[in-house]
Amino acid sequence: MRSIARRTLLALPALLAARPVLAAQPQPWLAYERRLRERLSDPPGADFDTDFEQTLLDLNNIFRDRQGPRALAWDPGLALAARAHAADMGATEVFDHVTREGYTPAGRVGLLARDLVGAAGENIAMRLNASGPVTPDQIMGQWKASPGHRANLLAAGFTHVGYGVLRQGPRVIAVGAYAEVAARLAAPAPLRVGATDQIARALANATPTIRQFSVSEPGGEMLTATYLEGVPGQPPPTLAAGAWQLRPHLSTGEHRYQVAWGPVFVLI
């Protein structure tokens, strides 16, 4: 999650107004969202193993308890992102955090965890044993042995996780989608919107309260427009049609003055 100083945050609307407003093309993002939903409903020649997923959660939390960080809570939206990517890798045979088209974990979480505001991370693993079925202990062991994956298992900032485990015969593909959940929307944000005001309404009943947000290209760091609620005479930003990622500005709690990650939306 990107931190910015209070003075920078208060000046952000003027700074962003001078930048060109660019959007990702909408159709590829809509197509990717449809593809992920199809993978969830019809995994390629395989089934999701929910017991395996819950055992990974238990093993992860045992590991965290021994090392010090607080336990992770299960998040259904993160589980959707994890299962969808596991199934997508099983179909495409592209075993990576980034798809062949360039879609990243931040984009997947933004598409499928529609009420979540926070910063995401991801673990992946694929295993095929010479004899005997793949077990959760083996997948967790692979992650513990890899510095980057181990860091996600133990990251003190992460609060929630969802696991996706795909069994394709003897092969197992496992994904962990982790997030530092800083806020929740009262209801899932719409994917397609016709005006920026609809995004503001989606944030209206967030917990904690969110009164300001920017947008970026999905998965991108460059903030291109900002909207501040409750300022007389300030119109909403003019956004080009296309795919954007919501970037809420947090104003309360331990994450005060941070710019978080939120759902991806497509402005029609």
Condensed to tens digits (0 to 9), the pLDDT of residues 93-152 reads 999 999 999 999 999 999 999 999 999 999 999 999 999 999 999 999 999 999 999 999
Per residue, the 3-state secondary structure of the chain, as one string, reads CEECCHHHHHHHHHHHHCCCCCCECHHHHHHHHHHHHHHHHCCCCCEECHHHHHHHHHHHHHHHHHHCCCCCEECHHHHHHHHHHHHHHHHHCCCCCCCCCCCCHHHHHHHHCCCEEEEEEEEEEEEECCCCCCCHHHHHHHHHHCHHHHHHHHCCCCCEEEEEEEEECCEEEEEEEEEEEEEECCCCCCCEECCHHHHHHHHCCCECCCCEEEEECCCCCCEEEEEECCCCCCCCCCCCCEEEEEEEEECCHHHCCEECECCEEEEC
Fold classification of 27-183 (topology level): Pathogenesis-related Protein p14a (3.40.33)
Q: What is the pLDDT of residues 185-196, one digit of tens each?
A: 999 999 999 988
Domain definitions of the chain by residue range: 27-183, 184-267
Q: Bigger pLDDT: 254 or 50?
A: 50
Of all residues in the chain, the percent with pLDDT exceeding 70 is 86
Q: Strands 192-193, 212-216: parallel, antiparallel or unpaired by DSSP?
A: unpaired
Per residue, the 3-state secondary structure of 78-115, as one string, reads HHHHHHHHHHHHHHHCCCCCCCCCCCCHHHHHHHHCCC
Please tell me the predicted confidence (pLDDT) of residue 78.
98
**Spatial separation of the C-alpha atoms in residues 92 and 71, rounded to whole Å:** 33
Q: What is the pLDDT of residues 225-255, one digit of tens each?
A: 777 665 555 666 678 899 999 999 887 666 6
Report pTM. 0.89
**Is the pLDDT reported for residue 11 higher than 90?**
no
Q: Bigger pLDDT: 213 or 74?
A: 74
Q: Strands 73-74, 160-168: parallel, antiparallel or unpaired by DSSP?
A: parallel
